[in-house]
């Protein structure tokens, strides 16, 4: 059996491969050690999903654990509307739709599809302004890109973590105080 990749790690990897390393190293520590205010807000907003408090309507599946044997992915979805066949990823505040956000949704979509669920549309929902943005379902090119990222993550070496690619991202990284350049 190949290694399973948490769906959220796709977003982390695209932001910066080092963040996967720091997640591993600091995973057993309290997130108060390294989380900034925005990450704490995001975690709090996800608690409603984890406790299935988003809605009492039976049409909403909340916090469903998903898995793809084909892609070696595992994770949780935020909300799946069974009636409308809609997948929704909630973020505290969405200023821009990053590639990592899309890949998270695409991975969730692929898992749901493999699990026999039909998905007609996918959305990213910004909680602060209650704005919902539809994301096109992944096409062949998108799936090939995800496959490349999965392959890169599975073959990642420690040397890969030494390369910093985007100093602008470093300024916004939660691990900035811990990361030695």
* pLDDT per position as a tens digit, 140-163: 999 999 999 999 888 887 766 666
Q: What is the 3-state secondary structure (H, E, C) of the chain?
A: CCCCEEHHHHHHHHHCHHHHHHHHHHCCCCHHHCCCHHHHHHHHHHHHHHCCCCCCCCCEEECCEEEECCCCEEEECCEEECCCCEEEEEECCCCCCCHHHHHHHHHHHHHHHHCCCCCCEEEEEECCCCEEEEECCCCHHHHHHHHHHHHHHHCCCHHHHHCCCCHHHHHHCCCHHHCCC
Q: Which domains does the chain have, with CATH numbers?
A: 5-178 (3.90.320.10)
| pTM for the full predicted model | 0.80
The model's pLDDT over 94-141, given as tens digits with 9 standing for 90+, comes to 989 999 999 999 999 999 999 999 999 999 999 889 999 999 999 999
pLDDT computed for residue 1 by the predictor: 44
């Amino acid at each position: 059996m190949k290694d399973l990749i948490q769906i959220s790690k796709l977003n982390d990897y695209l932001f910066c491969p080092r963040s996967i390393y720091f997640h591993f190293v600091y995973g057993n520590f309290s997130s108060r050690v390294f989380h900034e205010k925005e990450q704490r807000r995001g975690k709090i907003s996800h608690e409603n999903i984890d406790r299935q408090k988003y809605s009492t309507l039976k049409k909403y599946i909340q916090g469903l654990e998903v898995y793809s044997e084909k892609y070696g992915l595992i994770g949780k979805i935020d909300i799946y509307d069974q009636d409308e066949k809609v997948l929704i990823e909630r973020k505290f505040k969405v200023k821009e739709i990053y590639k990592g956000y899309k890949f998270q949704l695409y991975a969730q979509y692929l898992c749901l599809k493999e699990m026999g669920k039909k998905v007609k549309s996918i959305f990213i929902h910004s909680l602060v302004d209650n704005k919902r943005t539809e994301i096109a379902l992944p096409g062949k090119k998108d799936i090939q890109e995800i496959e490349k990222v999965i392959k890169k993550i599975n073959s990642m070496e420690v040397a890969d973590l030494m390369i910093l690619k985007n100093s602008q991202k470093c300024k916004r990284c939660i691990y900035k105080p811990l990361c030695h350049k």
